[in-house]
């Protein structure tokens, strides 16, 4: 049994090392190719093409007014602009949208309220339904929780003047990053994705992804790649890879920022991250073999492999947490040769890659970046805390073909507490594992194994924070519902 535990623990370490090598590639490219970034040539539109803006929504009553106000304020001729509100809602969002659309139609906007009659295909099905009816040569897509700037179309459309450009992705900003420790940490993680991963991959002409919103597509490129498919939960990533496998290029614009709402509680955050984890591994199952068989350069294939399989990290992180106590016990009791631990220590250098790229993304984006550095701890801790739920998500994504799209709740200026319709045992498992790691932390401190303290402290912080926050939100939401019911009955 001891040998099995030692083997598994070493395997998890090696897996994390493999994926943690990737940040060092980004760091290398950042310093080598971005010492003197050339000023972007400002292109001007010589013609104003027809553009269709698609707004796929589902139960977005708190943010739909804000979204439509932004879309109808676009600095673009209304005669060249079509707006599709593709509404799959089953609450009073539909009546709100109907009234707003009628008002904007009176103001001479070409805006349509599209009801499919079902949620078949979820977001992918809605976008494909709208695509088949779209009049524009270009398709802009915005989720309900984003606030696009008025110059969005005029900034991104000129990029299509280059050959084979099939899509352009803008950078996400954050509307509520200062709301809590959780949102501040999320903002750093997303900044890293856009300012390091997306930007550097785009500069190197490696595959990048449309992020589901805040992007502009050439309609012809979508059709050439086969349109939107609904067989994964990451329809945006799926389409991105199919488009690029057909020879089209997706560009990234880090200077065009579209602010969006971050999940402000643990349940919403977990829903979002689970969907991304499950969807990404589904796309890997579907397209990774095509990527590896393609004529891409080896480094581009490596990047694509890491991109599509990176959530395996969570499986390895969970394994390290589960086996942390016996591994420490073996060391303290002298049951395993020191050579084993010396071997493992060589792989720990990889732990510094991700925090450093997080730092670089903050330094690049903000003048007061030094104020945000402490929240890098949160990015790492919450990633560890997600290891239970995301491991479950990747297992389901790889082995189960059926899936249900669960939207991330959005609230705009309201601060509602989300309570899931179905109970989950995962928050309780997170609390139990957090306590388990905390006990291990005390054991480590008592035996003066100080080098392991930061590692175990982050694990316990991540598990306990997500688990306890979820349970607390559930209790508060239940109490709120009971109060509302008692008021109605009285």
Q: Which residues are catalytic?
A: 88, 236
Residue 283 near residue 198 (C-beta atoms within 8 A): no
- Phi, psi at 434, each rounded to 5°: -65, -40
3-state secondary structure labels for all residues of 277-323:
HHHHHHHHHHHHHHHHHCCCCHHHHHHHHHHHHCCHHHHHHHHHHHH
Q: Name the H helices within 194-293.
A: 199-203, 219-224, 235-245, 266-293
Residues 6+ apart with CB under 8 A from 143: 56, 212, 213, 214, 260
Ranges assigned E (strand) in 122-207: 138-141, 165-174
Q: Which of 126, 147, 323, 372 is nearest to 139 (CA)?
A: 126
Residue 277 near residue 393 (C-beta atoms within 8 A): yes
Strands 110-114 and 81-87: parallel
- Positive or negative: CA dihedral 423, 429, 434, 436: positive
Q: Torsion angle of alpha carbons 137, 142, 143, 146, nearest 10°? A: 180
122-131 and 235-245 helices, crossing angle to 10°: 50
Report how far residue 287's alpha carbon sits from residue 311's, in angstroms, rounded to the nearest whole number.
16
Q: Which of 200, 203, 147 is nearest to 172 (CA)?
A: 147
Over its C-alpha atoms, the chain yields an Rg (Å, rounded) of: 24
Report how far residue 58's alpha carbon sits from residue 304's, in angstroms, rounded to the nearest whole number.
31
Q: Torsion angle of alpha carbons 215, 219, 222, 228, nearest 10°? A: 80
Q: Which of 239, 256, 78, 260 is nearest to 157 (CA)?
A: 256
């Amino acid at each position: 049994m001891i040998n099995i535990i030692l083997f598994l623990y070493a395997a998890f370490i090696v897996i994390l090392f493999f994926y943690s090598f990737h940040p060092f590639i980004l760091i290398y490219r950042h310093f080598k190719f971005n010492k003197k970034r050339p000023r972007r040539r400002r292109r001007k539109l010589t013609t104003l093409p027809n553009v269709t803006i698609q707004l796929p929504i589902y139960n977005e009553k708190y943010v739909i007014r804000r979204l439509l106000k932004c879309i109808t304020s676009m600095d673009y001729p209304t005669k060249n602009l079509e707006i599709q509100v593709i509404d799959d809602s089953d609450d009073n969002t539909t009546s709100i949208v109907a009234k707003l659309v009628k008002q904007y139609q009176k103001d001479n906007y070409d805006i349509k309220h599209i009801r499919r009659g079902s949620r078949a295909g979820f977001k992918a099905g809605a976008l494909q339904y709208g695509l088949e009816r779209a009049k524009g040569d270009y398709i802009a897509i915005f989720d309900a929780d984003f606030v696009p700037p008025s110059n969005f179309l005029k900034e991104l459309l000129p990029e299509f003047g280059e050959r084979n450009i099939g899509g352009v992705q803008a950078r996400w900003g954050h509307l509520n990053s200062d709301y809590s420790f959780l949102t501040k940490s999320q903002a750093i993680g997303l900044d890293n994705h856009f300012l390091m991963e997306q930007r550097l991959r785009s500069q190197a002409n490696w595959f990048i992804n449309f992020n589901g919103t805040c992007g502009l597509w050439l309609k012809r490129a979508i059709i050439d790649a086969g349109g939107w498919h609904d067989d994964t939960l990451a329809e945006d990533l799926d389409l991105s890879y199919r488009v690029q496998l057909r020879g089209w290029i997706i560009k990234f614009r880090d200077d065009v920022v579209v602010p969006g709402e971050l999940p402000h509680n643990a349940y919403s955050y977990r829903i979002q991250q689970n969907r991304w984890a499950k969807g990404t591994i589904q796309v890997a199952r579907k397209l990774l073999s095509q990527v590896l068989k393609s004529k891409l350069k080896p480094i581009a294939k490596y990047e694509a492999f890491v991109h599509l399989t990176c959530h395996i990290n969570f499986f390895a992180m969970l394994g390290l947490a589960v086996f942390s106590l016996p591994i420490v016990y073996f060391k303290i009791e002298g049951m395993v040769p020191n050579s084993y631990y010396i071997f493992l220590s060589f792989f720990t250098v990889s732990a510094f890659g991700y925090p450093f790229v997080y730092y670089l993304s903050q330094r690049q984006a903000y003048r007061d970046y030094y104020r945000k550095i402490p929240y890098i701890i949160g990015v790492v801790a919450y990633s560890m805390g997600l290891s239970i739920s995301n491991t479950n998500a990747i297992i389901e994504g790889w082995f189960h073909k059926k899936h249900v799209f669960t939207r991330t709740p959005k609230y705009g200026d309201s601060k509602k507490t989300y309570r899931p319709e179905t109970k989950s045992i995962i928050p309780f498992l997170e609390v139990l594992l957090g306590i388990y790691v905390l006990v291990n932390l005390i054991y480590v401190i008592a035996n003066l194994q100080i080098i392991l303290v930061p590692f175990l402290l982050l694990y316990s912080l991540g598990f306990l924070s997500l688990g306890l926050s979820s349970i607390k939100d559930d209790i508060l939401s239940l109490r709120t519902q009971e109060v509302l019911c008692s008021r109605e009955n009285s």
